Structure 1
């Protein structure tokens, strides 16, 4: 399943966030597809695949002390249209 996470943090925590990014090593079961950083600061976007709840938790929970993470399951619009057309 694909997930789009949007992480936000307070500007005062930027140094801690940068340290987390330097050490970012996704656990087995997480396949990062693409990552973006908001150039105005304070937000990070990541698109990844994950089919394992434990890998998902291991990937996101270590950030919970410095970031708020909005995690959304997503699919490409063409796939969504095909899925909805079957109903």
Structure 2
């Protein structure tokens, strides 16, 4: 399943976030599609695939002390339209 995550942090946590990003290693079971940083500061976006709860936790738990993470399951709009068309 695809997930879009938006991580936000307080300005005073910036240096901790930079250290985390430098050391970021994806656990097995996480396939990153792309990542973006908000140029105005304080937000990081990542689109990735994950089918395993253990990998999901291994990826997110190390960040829980420095930022807030909003996770949204997503799919391409063309796939969604196709899926909903079959259900009609």
| Same-fold status (TM-score > 0.5) | yes
1:12 aligns with: 12
Measured after TM superposition, the shift of residue 4 of structure 1 is 0.2
| Structure 1 unpaired stretches of 5+ | none
Distance 1:73 1:11 in 2: 27
Is 2:28 aligned against 1:28? yes
Across the aligned residues of Structure 1 and Structure 2, the Cα RMSD in angstroms comes to 0.4
Distance 1:47 1:7 in 2: 12
1:56 aligns with: 56
2:73 aligns with: 73
TM-score (norm: length of structure 2)? 0.98
User: Which contiguous aligned blocks of 4+ residues in structure 1 show a shift greater than 6 angstroms?
Assistant: none
TM-score (norm: length of structure 1)? 0.99
Secondary structure of 1:20's counterpart equals helix
The number of equivalent residue pairs is: 87
Measured after TM superposition, the shift of residue 43 of structure 1 is 0.1
